[in-house]
Structure 1
Amino acid sequence: MIEIDNVTFRYKTTDAAGNPRIVGGVSHLTLTVAPGEFVVLAGDSGCGKTTVTRLINGLVPHYYPGELEGSVRVAGIDAAKAGIGELAAHVGSVFQNPRSQFFNVDTTSELAFASENRCMEPDAIRESIRRVAREMDIEALLDRSIFALSGGEKQKIACASVAVAGPEIIVLDEPSSNLDAEGIKELEKTLALWKSEGKIVVIAEHRLYYLAKLADRLIRMKDGEIVEEIGRDRLRSMTEEEAYARGLRSLREVGLPERRTGNNTEAHDADRDFLICRNLSFRYKHSDHGIDFPELHFRRGAVTAIVGRNGAGKSTFARVLCGLERRAKGQVFFDGREWPRKKRAELCYSIMQDVNHQLFTDSVLEEVLLSMPERKGVSEKEREKAAREMLGRLDLLPLADTHPMALSGGQKQRVAIASGVVSGSPVLLFDEPTSGLDLSHMRQVGELLKLLREEGRTVLVITHDIELVREAADEVVRFD
């Protein structure tokens, strides 16, 4: 059982000047989860969902420092007094980015790692690995390099490593954010298995459609507090309009809209109205994975969604288009001229799938200013004003002086998006821009994409988020 009684927690962090700050967390939170219950935590980015999962697994307050009031009992243990190691015997955790929880370079060693640290007998560990591999259908992933796995396969290994250790409680933090449709179906099967085994499952999530049939309760949070509890029957009968009115993503799976595709190879009357890619090809070393596209056309002043399964080459295409792969072949034409690989940094701005790779400064404001080009006749004061206006459009202005690494995943995503928008680049490429974003901020991103379209910029969006495609895309290209 999980018992959270009148808990208030605030994170200790610093601003850009190094001054201490107390931010985020939860306020006067009371929540009880019974054995075998499946509970979904939902709400806006930064509402406190992740903090609840950290209270359960002990990362708060033992890893993330802060001010804690109230009591948390997990499996009869006082979580504030027990160490993370003691709690780990009862609680397994699956994070948004599975790479952040891997400690080994091969899959089988990773599956055994948690159990080995609990000093379980080697024969028992091997038997548990065989059982879990059979139940989760991952036998083909055993003895593989972690680095050779797709995003969905990494998520499977993260879930399996938790299952091998056999905890009675499992918490997950937005596990579907980087998965394609097939990966989400596999995740749903895993969650259903855990539910059938009577485990407590607590999952913080924005995508809700794959959880509607599994959840016993949905806890809706706002500003660190619980504002609504929705039971199983009400959850399953809730319409899309009712979910949207609560700021929740759809509880029903939505289909791809019928739109004109942008990858036809017919001759165009005005090539300067298109971003044209010809004979783009690339192969990774010692691998069959890569891309080979004879011709692609992307309309100028349009938002084109690029969809397809994980491993289809979408992110590789983005790297090649932006000139980041030296061994890539092919030509890129825009505005009536060819752009050699070394010049494409002037043409394209890419917002990566893992935005942690492109956050460099000590504050959110500085991060946006870093991407904003200096123009003759524009003062530093005017640049800062423009940067603050962009932060305001994405609900980031109160965080202007906060270190980017102190933000939630969704907030980091919006900082990277703001940086891309102010860069002024004629071609903007977004790789999963709504990963970790709630409904309102997904719609904000959609509005920004449409604004960029009105400015005449060419916008390419790699995404699994069909709700975003419905919201903002003019055209859809599918990579298979």
Structure 2
Amino acid sequence: MSDTGIIRCDNVSFTYANVETPSITGFDCEIHAGQVVLLCGDSGCGKTTVTRLVNGLVPHYFEGTLTGRVSVDGLDVASSELAELGKHVGTVFQNPKSQFFTLDVTGEMAFGCENFTMPPDDIRASIAREAQRFDIEHLLGRPIDALSGGQKQKVACASVCVPDPPILVFDEPSSNLDATAIGELARAISLLKKHGKTILIAEHRLYWLANLVDQVMYMRDGQIVRTLSADEFRSLPDHERQAMGLRPVHVEDIEDFASVRGGDSANGEIADGDTGDATDAVHSNTDTAEAYQVEHFAYRYQHSRNVVLDIAHAAIAAGRATAITGLNGAGKSTFARCLQGLDRRCRGTLIEPQTGRSLRRKQRLSSCFTVMQDVNCELFCESVLDEIVLAQPQENKSVALDVLRRLDLEAFADRHPLSLSGGQKQRVAIAAALASERPIIILDEPTSGLDLRHMRQVASMVRSLTHMGRTIVVVTHDPEFAIAACDANITLEQGRLAEAYPLDAAGDQRLAARLTAPVAA
């Protein structure tokens, strides 16, 4: 480890253009070569801005007022060309789609090296190395738009490593990954660390990093207010961690999130099913007059014979919150699209409880509201308040402001939605769903980018909605949120229903075990 930090920030302040409040102020840090450093803190505390300072997007792409000095690998960030900085720093963004330039996985992995004019044989060798490291060899040559969100995240991670930069920056890298993929990501970061890479990670989900980090920088209001060693981080008392607004550092603490739900389970509305021939087991145990009946849901991609979703029957308890879980590529987001009827290739019907009315695809469009995994795709207006008003069945700004207040967004009412942090944008999209007053709300990875406080806030809002009779379907990899917010769980495997069970004490333990994985140090 060198005496001088490979990353240095000296009295740095930055305010984005057209925003009054600085994102960071008087920021100082020094990160030595070969360290893995975690940035944590509330959504909007400045973590993403720090990552942008390190990779040069601030000030070369994001305009604003910058004071102080940032240096990476001996280069002054403000006076260096962005293309030159790219040789020294690789970045994985919170939304991997925002960094893809090509149509297929192999082309994407080669893209950075081609821009740096690396010899073709070296490029092919680097692609093979990183594909093996991130376990995506089976994805080489695949169209990117046919991948799941988690698969795209892994491709993004591998792609930035192909040119072999000495510094890697990860912004919420686990946000769309399942338990298996998080374990693979942890092993990849461990291997990169052994090869001397300097790694800066901004993250809210912490348990998988406990044995990887060398240093933890806890941020609040644009400054580092506390620095922890790896041992201090791992031994952080639970009450102290919660006071800091941090998620669990250890897997065994995740089941405690049932306290948010208050122990109010599904009361048998979704009964227990076994793995194996689970469809029949669930079919026989989940029929109830108080559930939406999913019948013959099927989906296949255009020009493909492979059916990626095939669910003969499932039941979703009305007025309850149901988690849809499974590995990346299991068909969770496809199930959500079929439930709302967003795609003409969706087949099947949804039967309303009590009335017995069958809702075909077009009818479901007006009954469901989906908060997408990539919320940037559904933010259209010039202000946050306008987004909420647009979603309302009848315009009522007073009610819209109340929704923003309940999700801690009132201060951003006049801000442009795309100027917010990832977690803030996520909450805006959820606020729009609440304002829509539709009976079924579908949340596709709703806690991507959310800190502990706001995750609990959204979970409590889900609970409030179920008490009002709304039916909530949550597609998630997040065990903390699923346990805090949901009454029941349905697991998909390879597009088919594998198991279903209520989230009571036993179900919480079962779900936490499935949605977490051992991570390598």
TM-score, structure 1 normalization: 0.92
- Alignment-derived partner of residue 214 in structure 1: 212
User: Aligned to 2:169, which of 165, 171, 191?
Assistant: 171
Counterpart secondary structure, 1:61: helix
> Is contact 2:269-2:286 (8 Å) kept?
no
Letter in 2 for 1:205: E
- Uncovered stretches (5+) of structure 2, i.e. residues with no partner: 1-5, 259-264, 272-281, 494-521
Aligned residue in 1 for 2:159: 161
Aligned pair in 2 of structure 1 residues 120, 237: CA closer, same or farther (>3 Å)? Answer: same
Residue matched to 2:504 = none
Residue 390 and residue 94 in structure 1: after superposition, are their counterparts in 2 closer, same or farther (change >3 A)?
same
Secondary structure class of the residue paired with 2:251:
coil
1:302 to 310, 320, 345: 320
Q: Out of 257, 262, 274, which is 2:291 matched to?
A: 274
Residue 353 (structure 1) aligned to one of 373, 397, 411:
373
In the alignment, which of 9, 16, 30 is matched to residue 14 of structure 2?
Answer: 9
- Which region of structure 1 is more displaced relative to structure 2, 419-428 or 260-269? 260-269
The alignment status of 1:475 with 2:496, answered yes or no, reads no
Classify 1:278/1:435 alpha carbon distance in 2 versus 1 (closer, same or farther; 3 Å): same
Root-mean-square deviation over aligned CA pairs: 1.9
Contact 1:107/1:142 (<8 A) preserved = yes
| 1:40–1:204 contact (8 Å) kept in structure 2 | yes
Measured after TM superposition, the shift of residue 139 of structure 1 is 3.0
Residue equivalent to 1:465:
478
Q: Which runs of 5 or more residues in structure 1 are unaligned?
A: 14-20, 375-379
Describe the shift of the 1:52–1:287 C-alpha distance in structure 2 as closer, same or farther (beyond 3 A): farther
Could you tell me the percent identity over the aligned residues? 48
Task: Determine if contact 1:240/1:252 at 8 Å carries over to the other structure.
Answer: no
Question: Which residue number corresponds to residue 32 of structure 1?
Answer: 30
2:240 counterpart letter in structure 1:
E
Q: Assess, with a 3 A threshold, how the Cα gap between structure 1 residues 123 and 23 changes in structure 2: closer, same or farther.
A: same
The correspondence for 1:54, drawn from 47, 52, 55, is 52
Separation of aligned partners in 2, 1:135 and 1:281? 34
Q: Is the 8 A contact 2:13 2:22 kept in 1?
A: no
Alignment of 1:62-461 (within 5 A): 62-254=60-252, 262=270, 264-266=282-284, 271=289, 273-285=290-302, 286-335=304-353, 336=355, 337-374=357-394, 383-461=396-474
Residue of structure 1 in register with 2:500 after alignment = none
* Cα drift, residue 261 of structure 1: 7.1
Distance between the aligned counterparts of 1:24 and 1:390, measured in 2?
26
How far, CA to CA, are the matches of 1:471 and 1:85 in structure 2?
A: 44
| Partner Cα distance (2:470, 2:131) in 1 | 47
| 323-332 vs 348-357, greater mean Cα deviation | 323-332
Distance in 1, Cα, partners of 2:10 & 2:34: 20
Partner deviation per Cα, 1:128-184 (whole Å, 9 max, x = no partner):
223333444433333333233333332222222222211111111001111111111
Cα distance in 2 for partners of 1:211, 1:270 equals 42
Q: Is the contact between residue 45 and residue 438 of structure 1 (CA under 8 Å) also seen in structure 2?
A: yes
Q: What is the aligned partner in structure 2 of residue 17 from structure 1? A: none
Q: Give the whole-Å Cα distance in 1 for the aligned partners of 2:160 and 2:433.
A: 37
TM-score after normalising by structure 2: 0.85
Aligned to 1:377: none
Over residues 230-274 of structure 1, what are the superposed CA-to-partner deviations in whole Å (9 max), with x where a residue is unaligned?
111111223444322211011112567897572633478962x22
Whole-Å Cα distance in 2 between the matches of residues 25 and 112 of structure 1? 34
Do the aligned residues in 1 keep the contact of 2:320 with 2:469 (CA within 8 Å)? yes
How many residue pairs match? The answer is 465
Instruction: Give secondary structure in 1 for the equivalent of 2:489.
Output: strand
Letter in 2 for 1:347: S
1:326 partner SS: coil
What secondary structure does 2:43 align onto?
coil
Mark the CA change 1:118 to 1:456 in structure 2 (over 3 Å): closer, same or farther: same
How many angstroms does 1:287 deviate by?
A: 4.8
Change (3 A) 1:118 1:430: same
CA distance in 2, matches of 1:164, 1:261: 49
SS in structure 1 opposite 2:242?
helix
Cα separation, 2, equivalents of 1:267 and 1:88: 55
Report the 3-state secondary structure (helix = DSSP H, G, I; strand = E; otherwise coil) of the residue aligned with 1:210.
Answer: helix
Opposite residue 270 of structure 2, the aligned amino acid is G
Partner of 1:16: none
Partner of 2:402, secondary structure, is: helix
Give the counterpart letter for 1:310 in structure 2: N
SS in 2 for 1:411: helix
Contact 1:40 / 1:215 at 8 angstroms: preserved in 2? yes
In 2, distance between residues paired with 1:130 and 1:331? Answer: 44
